Structures are given as C-alpha cells and as structure tokens.
Amino acid sequence: MICHRSKNIPFEEKIKAVKDYLKTEQSLQKIAASLNIYPKTLWRWVRRYEKDGEDGLKRRKLPKKRLPKSIEQQVILLKEKNPALTLTKARSLMNKIGIKISNKGIWQIWKRCGLSKRPVQDPLNPFGITTPEAIGIINSARSLLEKGDAKEAAKILNSIHSLPADQIIKEVPDKILSPRRKLDRLYLCFGEIPFPEYARKAKQIGKSLERRDYIYSSIIANFLELNALGWMAQPQKKISYLNKLASKLQGVKDNLLWFLFYFEQACTYSGLLQIKNALTLIKKCRKLIYHYPYPIYWDCMGVVLTTVGKYKDALLFYKKAFENERQQHTQEQFAVKLAFYGYSMSGEYSRCKKLLIKAKNMENVEGISANYSLTSAHMSFGQGYLADAHRFFLESLKKATKGELINYVYAATVGLASVAMSLNRKNQAKIYITKYLSLMKKYKRDELILQCLSGLRANISDELLLMPPMYLLNLIMCFKQTMKISDYRKAVKFAQRKGLTGLFHRWIVFFPEVVLYLLEKGKKTELPKAILQFPIFNQKVPVYHIKFLGSFVVFKNHQYLKIKFSPQEQAFLIQMASNAETPEKFIILNNLYQNFWLRSKDPLSLLLHLLASIKKKLKLPGHILGVYRRYGEPRLINHGFYITTDYQDYQSQFIQAKALARVGEWGLARKEYLRAFKLFRGEPLKKNFDEWSLNLRFKILTELETETVNFAKSCIEHNNKKDARKILQKVLKIIPDSEEMRKLSNGLMV
C-alpha cells in the first residue's frame, strides 16, 4: 500500500516536485500522488520555496520535549478507552486531573503510538513510528533472546504501548506476550497460518484487549478477523462481527477506518447476495475514496465493485491504480488485475495481451501467478486457442495458494467446461460443472451460475438481476426460451455496454442452440470468427479424440473409427495431439525427421507418404494438414481440426484432484483420483519404439507410479484401505516391476 512518506523524501526530490508544479501544467494532486504524499504537504513546500527558496525546504530539527512516561500512558489510555475521543476533549480531561498539555502534544503521543491518523500505506498496521526508545527496547530484547532469556525479552517488549514493525516479535513465544504484542505478532503472520486459526486468534486477542479497555486496538483485531473470515467465505459470521464493530466505531472521525468498514460490509452483503445493501455501501465507499487519491484505494474500489459484477466501473479504478502507481512490482500486480477484471471481461483481448506482456514478471509470483494464468486462459479462449486455454486453466489451479484456491476451483471449472463445450464434448462439460455443485453451496452466486449453465435452473431473483453478469445470463436464457432475435440483440448490446463481452463469449458456448439458430437464419451473431469456428458452432470442423492409455482407439466427432493404425501412425497422431492439437498450431519438420527418419536421405517424401495414409484413414481434406516453408524452418501446420487425448483428460483430473485435496475436500478429491485411474486400460504405447514414444511412455508410467503411491498413502491416512488396495492392484498390472507399490500392496494385505 502507499504511505504518507514526506519525512523520508530526499531533498532533491522535494525540489524537483516543487519545480515541476511551478514550471509545468501538472496538477498539484497528480504530482503529490506520484510521491505518495498529501496534496497539502506539497502545497506547504511550494509556499516555503516561494518564501525562502531552497533553504525553505531543508528540514529544521527542533529539540523535542517528552512528557514523563506516566503522563504519556494516561494520554494513550484515553484514546484506547474511547476511540471517538477528540483532541480538545482529551485536553479537557487531562486538565481536570491537573495536567496541562496542548492539543499538539496529545496528537504527537497518539501519532507515535499509531492512535491517530491511520497510516495510508496500511490502515490496519498496528505498529507505531520508530523512536530511539523503541529501537533500544528491540535491541535489548534481541540480546536477551540470544542468551535464551525469552521471558525477560517478552517483559521488555510488553513494557511499551507500541513498537515499530520488527520480526523479533515472532521469535518470542506467543503465550508470554501481552495482548497488544500478540496483535503485532498476528499482523505479521497474515498468510503464514491457516485462515481458520488466524480468525480464532484475532477473536481471542480482540476480547483480551477489550477486557483491558484497549478498545481502539481491539478494533484493529476485529478488522483482521473480518479479513480472515472473508478469505474463508463466511459472510454470515461476518455480519454479527460487523454489527459489534459498528458500535465501537460510533463517533470515530477517521475516514480510513470507515472506508474499510464500508468495504467489508459491502463485500459481506455481496457474499450473502443482498445486492441492494451492497450497492448502497459501495456508494459510501466512493464518497470517501476522494479523500484518498492513492492507487491502493482505487484498487480496493475495483475489488468491491467486482463483487457485485460492476466490471466496467471496476475497470476505471484499476486503470487509475495502474497508471498512477510508481513502484514497478506493484504496478505489475495492478496490470494483471486490469487485464483480468477489465480487458478479459470486456473481450479486448489485444489490450489484455499487451498488459500481460508488461507484467511478465508476475507469471511465477506467489499470490499473483494464478490470476496471471487465469487471465491468459480467458484471453486464449477469446482468440480461439482452446488447447492453450485448457492448459492455462489447469495452471491456475496448480499455482493458486491455499487461501485463494476455492475461487480458482470455480473459475477453472467454468473455464474447463467452456473449453469442453467448444469442442462439442457436451457430456464432459456437464461433468465438469455438476460434480462441484456440492462444493459451491457456501458460494451462492457461483452455485447459481453453475446451475444456470448446466440447465438445472432457469430463473434468477430480481435482486440478483442488479448484478450485470446475472442480468446478462438471464437475457441469454430468455432468448433460449423465446428464440426471438431481438432478445439476443439485447444480450449482446448489454454485454458491450457493461464491459462483459468476454464473459458473454465464454458463456454463450453453453447455449449453442442460440447461435446455431441465428446462423441458420443467416443473422449476425456479433461473435468473433475465432469463436464461430469452434466445433460447437461449426459442425463441419473435425474433432478427434485419441485413447492410447491402453489399446489405441480413435473417435471422430464422437464416432468410433474402425480403422487400424500402424505404430508409426499412432506415434505421429499422438505427437500431433501434443503439439498441434488446434488450428494454426504446428510442428517443426526437423523434429519429426529426427524422431522417425533420422538416417533417411529423403525424409520429406516419407513424411508426405505418411500424411497421405493418415489423411485417408481420418478422411481429412488435403489442405487441412500440410507442409509449409514460407516462414523460417519448414513446418507441418494444422489448418482446421482438433485432437484431444485421454492422457490430457488424465492430467486434467489429477490436477483437479490435487487442488481439491489441498483445499480439504478429500471426498471430492478421491472421486477425481478414481476417475483419472479409470482412464488407464493398459500400458500406453506398448508397441511403439521410436524415441519420442519411448520418452513419453517413460514419462507417463513414472507419473502413474508416483501418483498411485501418493494416492494409496492418502487413502491409508483417511482409513480407506479398500481404494488403496484396488488401485495398487490395477496399476501393478501395468507396472509390475514397481517395488514401492508392491510393498504398499503387501502391507495392505496383512
């Protein structure tokens, strides 16, 4: 987050900022935002520069007079007991007990302890500012810890109200820290411990602080608990906590805390599908955000707007955050969000691609990489690259951290189902959606969308229609019922107007009769050519499905082909399915030559002969698969058909199973594992001895052995020896020389 850092800005930067304002047409607010300072601060610099020149911008350190610790503690407790207390009221209370202190003196004490003016960088930061006293305490505690005296170190750390952020707090056992230090420690541990445990600890700390009349600090603990509950998707629990927090905040004049409160409320009501309440609270957030023109708060507005489906409005805030952020790492994070919530949703795939290229560094950054892959999947789908989309959807599941995994299970489920539907694999798409309906019961909106896409639900409540995506889905379902072209036009225009064209592209494949009806009538569909070429809409496009995890079998458009293929033809088709599985994909000819005809003097003629045989058996038109030398190395290009394999299905199901196991849904994970093992009917590529096939067979069998052992061990941990024994016996028939599997199997027989 961005912070008010005027005290840390070098003198040269101050001079440059003032001169930029005086000599250019840039606004005061824009220059201030670029330095992460308040506009008022920059205006003071300008006035001092105009009065005293550069000397006016040099810091003048004045000796500070510190009050006795006992008096400072009284001032601190006044604010802790009554968070709504003003400076004037605090001074009056101090005067009544015979202590004279100015408003400025009180404010300095509160600011030093983090009790006034929440830090813009992070309003929930419980730490105070760095002082010589605090540094001395931390150094003393560190020395005691090195000597093994944790109790005395804790005693010293507990002696002060607030400390600057330091990892030393995590080195001291939690049980000997004061509630205030426990709050500091908890803040530093966010994301390091499971969210249920984090929420429980925040609740305990909040109650301990309340008992000691540390109401102000307990508010921070309550916000941390709400944050954890948000990650756990428990909006019902959040409601009661928000009501308690509202009473504590009553009278508090801190816009940052109120912004956070309304933000949490809006997200909670959105999760409960109380959209009217959520929209009312979002309006309050929008009013407050103008006091804080910083990228992090524009990002927050983007987040809360996406919870109610206002993607077009969210795009504006994400765009402002991206354009005004100066730190490259943070800017790249905003770039991924802008690409996902903005351009992949609105169907602006070329802009989406440019942003992803800019944010390439985020591809493997934890917490961002999953969103990067999901955005890439949406972009690939919209551009017609179904194989890439399928791969990126699975990547998002593999990269997602545990806390965010459940969101990606839903997104990947819909994505994988949309790819299956596009390939006209309707049964596979239905399985993708329906098998996770039970998991999505806590996530009402996601459950509802899955039900609508699978045809299990045909109506949406009026309140949910306030969400643009739900309204769009309702329009599509209405057209399916009425088959009025005007209803389809309404859906298309609404999607364009609300920035949901990309979402429309991914959803329309679940309603193919709608598009097919328009095409039959010769009407415009407003869909890109790449999407209209999907097999679900263009029945002339051949789709082949190869099963080679056992005996070699080929299906064309779901019809079994009673044709025998030579080992070389089998290997070639599997290689095509691995590297050129969708139109416009290709294989470098030299790779084929190296594998099949390494010593041949005329490998091209042998390749052409092989192609002629395969085209004849698959009934492929001559132009649909050909050799081209126009660009770079000669290549074999797929010009209009799709190939999938059971090995791809196997990998997909294993990735989903692992994701479900990580999120704690062993029951669903077990079913996915069993589906994956069921795809094996024997040893793959048993009669193939070319180098590529040998390498692939070794890879597949190694994966199978590893996953079988892991599955068997997981079954034993869950007291399910039956499935472990069954799968081990099955796989041992395929890999009979596996010692580890045989040991496990023998152990289960005892």
pLDDT value at residue 24: 78
Evaluate if residue 25 carries a pLDDT over 80.
no
| CA 584 – CA 200 distance, rounded (Å) | 53
284-318, pLDDT tens digit by residue? 999 998 888 889 999 999 999 999 999 999 999 99
Please tell me the distance from the alpha carbon of residue 477 to that of residue 207, in angstroms, as a whole number.
50
Q: Using pLDDT thresholds of 50, 70 and 90, give the confidence band for residue 121.
A: confident
The whole-number average pLDDT for the span 12-19 is 82
453 located within any domain: yes
- 458: pLDDT strictly greater than 80: no
pLDDT band of residue 750 (cuts 50, 70, 90) is: low
662 within some domain: yes
For 686, the 3-state DSSP assignment is coil
Looking at residue 65, its pLDDT comes to 60
Token pair recorded at residue 7: 């005290």
DSSP string, 658-676: HHHHHTT-HHHHHHHHHHH
- Please check whether residues 656 and 638 belong to one and the same domain: no
Judge contact between 238 and 268, C-beta under 8 A: yes
Q: What pLDDT is attached to residue 4?
A: 47
Q: Which of 476, 506, 532 is the last residue of a domain?
A: 532
Same domain assignment for residues 388 and 305: no
Instruction: State the total domains in the chain.
Output: 6
Q: With CA atoms as reference, report the closest residue to 645 among 574, 543, 731.
A: 574
Can you tell me the mean pLDDT for 390-403?
Answer: 87
- Domain final residue pick, 645, 677, 709: 645
Question: Which CATH number goes with the domain that contains 233?
Answer: 1.25.40.10
Q: Are residues 512 and 638 in the same domain?
A: no
Claim to verify: residue 636 and residue 654 sit in the same structural domain: no
Residue 282 sits in the same domain as residue 412? no
Q: Nearest 5 degrees, angle CA 674-CA 679-CA 683?
A: 120
- What is the spatial distance between Cα 542 and Cα 519, in angstroms, rounded to a whole number? 19
- In whole angstroms, give the CA distance from residue 133 to residue 53: 35
Using CA atoms, how far apart are residues 423 and 381, in angstroms rounded to an integer? 12
Tell me which range, 93-97, 240-244, 492-496, is most confidently predicted by mean pLDDT: 492-496
The chain-wide mean pLDDT, for the chain, equals 89
Of the candidate ranges 16-20, 152-156, 448-452, 664-668, the one whose mean pLDDT is the lowest: 16-20
Query: How far apart are alpha carbons 539 and 156 in whole angstroms?
Result: 76
**What is the structure's pLDDT at 643?**
93
Structural domain including 679 reads 648-749
Percent of the chain predicted with pLDDT > 70: 97
Same domain, 253 and 177: yes
562 Cβ contact list (under 8 Å, min separation 6): none
Contact assessment for residue 375 and residue 336, using Cβ atoms and an 8 Å cutoff: yes
| Mean pLDDT lowest among 13-17, 143-147, 246-250, 634-638 | 13-17
Q: Distance between CA atoms of 107 and 89, rounded to whole angstroms?
A: 12
Q: Are residues 552 and 678 in the same domain?
A: no
Residues 468 and 351 in one domain: yes
Q: Residue 522 pLDDT more than 60?
A: yes
Mean pLDDT (whole number) for 147-152: 90
Task: Write the CATH number for 565.
Answer: 1.10.10
Is residue 475 located within the same domain as residue 548?
no
Q: How confident is the model at residue 15 (pLDDT cuts 50, 70, 90)?
A: confident
Q: Which of 119-133, 231-245, 302-316 has the highest mean pLDDT?
A: 302-316
Q: Is residue 375 domain-shared with residue 476, that is, in the same domain?
A: yes
665, part of any domain: yes
Largest CA distance in the chain: 105
Report the pLDDT value the prediction gives residue 438, as an integer from 0 to 100.
Answer: 82
Same domain? For 551 and 692 the reply is no
Q: Is residue 160 part of a domain?
A: no
C-alpha span between 621 and 615 (Å, rounded) = 7
Q: Greater confidence, 2 or 608? A: 608
Q: Confirm whether 718 is domain-assigned.
A: yes
Q: Which residues contact 619 (CB under 8 A, 6 or more apart)?
A: 542, 556
Structure confidence at residue 1 as a pLDDT band (50, 70, 90): very low
pLDDT at 63 over 50: no
Whether residue 548 is contained in a domain is answered as yes
Is the distance from CB of 419 to CB of 426 less than 8 angstroms? no
pLDDT at 552 over 60: yes
Q: How many CA atoms lie within 13 A of 169 on its CB side?
A: 23
In this predicted structure, the answer to whether residue 89 has a pLDDT above a threshold of 80 is: yes
Q: Please, what sign has the CA dihedral across residues 702, 704, 709, 710?
A: positive
Instruction: Tell me the pLDDT tens digit for each residue of 685-698.
Output: 988 888 999 999 99
* Rounded-to-integer distance, Cα 112 and Cα 104, Å: 12
**580 and 696, same domain (yes or no):** no
> Over 60: is that where the pLDDT of 86 sits?
yes
Residues 62, 64, 69, CA angle at the centre, nearest 5°? 175
Residue 49: inside a domain? yes
Asked if residue 90 is part of any domain, the answer here is: yes
